[in-house]
A and B are shown apart, each in its own frame.
Chain A
């Protein structure tokens, strides 16, 4: 009898514990589960702390939870743990044995993530796509998200009735600087007029609102944010077929930083135990339902 009671109690505890444990929520620190990656042997910028860089503003769906009063982060504060990239970052941190309080976020504009010289972060997570050329200068983690490019247009405009990639050629398109969307336009769509390239996302979005560009090429999750929040009368015209070899996001590390190896092992764990998929389900669920343009 007692054994059964104990077993039920144990199960109850586990059930209760798992009900409160969801991707991104804080959990008590555990010793690192990765062999060869003990927390105190890791190559870190600050001892005992995992320093992560990302850009400001922190846009959805990559970050979420809003920004509390007094925070210098705009739109969302990465420390909430909400949003896809924030959740992935904290999941990786937990794998390496860092408690939520042992993770520090620093503002790193995109340009600083690859500037020469010692980095001020352990890794940077900011929708940065891997390319072989870039990998000569920094070290990328394995993929934490496979990316599809898509195009956002304003409803009711001429471009909104286009159904094929070829149909996009005569239009003025725009992208944000630093994204691989630009290469995509130039190499795959090959429009007749040069695309516009904006230093930041807000500039590109404003240009779309002003009809200064007719179509904005961004990754699919960002496209959902743009149409849902930034330009409500816009819609996702469609997503582009995956590039051969695929395109993926990776975290950026100082070239040669051994920490990348441990992070890759952590990511492998998260993929294996379904955590990564769950995080994706939670934050990027809608980012799959757009028609594919060919």
Chain B
């Protein structure tokens, strides 16, 4: 007879970390595995490092990419330009999260009467996932103002944000859709059986669960978006990557690109840790969902 499977939730979360390092066994076995993993990783890194620094072209590469003087010189201005990337990211992300949810809901509406909405959602997602983002940016950033229609904004940052929203809405709507479909149908059945309408069930029962489930892939898309803000530089806006390109072409030294890369990575780390925390916090609530 089925028992209470919610008690069989597995080892507590704290122990699970060691599984990544090859642990998962208890006590002395686990500790030895961790030690072996650490030592072998360190050895690998050292070997690769030695191989690289002894390559014939290493001096030139070091001078060209890792020049501390150029790094110090270019970093402040690149950091200032990075504020534009952050601004584009924040504005775009809000619109993306909302539009993508709407699109995912359209996609999930059943029945022949909703076919046009479903078809629209599918066509949209297919098109904007297929076309390269940089093309959308070029077409809209230069094409739309070229129409010379009164009232159409000319700002490249505006069109850059619009392009990113159009493209990423397609990706994120698929992520939401996966989340919605992963919520067991018994949840919707329970909500509907209480007399809630489809919309109410969606809003109170399904979507809250769906969104919690897809936080890791959503974060992936956030990070992709953060990087793609650099594409707005092709429209002339001086964001971090473009600023790095300016410095590089003035000095023929690539270190500014490394400085820009540092900034992009730096902002990803807190985002990733925040997401981990969100997941941990919701994990226990996910455990409770009983499957019919």
Contact = CB atoms under 8 A, between A and B. Distances in A.
Judge: A and B partners, yes or no. Answer: yes
Interface in A196-213: 196-199, 203-204, 206-207, 209-213
A134 B250 CA distance: 7
Interface stretch (B39-47, B211-219, B230-238): B230-238
Interface stretch (A175-183, A217-225, A227-235, A283-291): A175-183
Contact of B250 (A131, A195, A203): A131
Given A196-B236, A213-B236, A134 B145 contact: no
Interface of A: 110-111, 114, 116-117, 131, 133-134, 136-138, 174, 177-178, 180, 182-183, 194-199, 203-204, 206-207, 209-213
A138 B250 CA distance: 12
B132 to A, nearest CB: 15
B252 A138 contact: yes
A153 to B, nearest CB: 16
Contacts of A183: 250
Interface stretch (B11-19, B101-109, B180-188, B241-249): B241-249
A116 B254 contact: yes
Nearest to B251: A133
Contacts of A182: 246, 250
Interface in B136-164: 142, 145-146, 154-156
A210 B142 contact: yes
B268 interface: no
B154 A116 contact: no
A172 to B, nearest CB: 10
B245 A177 contact: yes
Q: Name the prevailing secondary structure of the B interface residues.
A: helix
Interface residues of B, number: 26
Contacts of B60: 116-117
Given A203-B236, A206-B146, A116 B61 contact: yes
Contacts of A197: 233, 236, 238, 242, 245-246
A207 B154 CA distance: 9
B133 interface: no
A198 B236 contact: yes
Interface in B249-263: 249-254
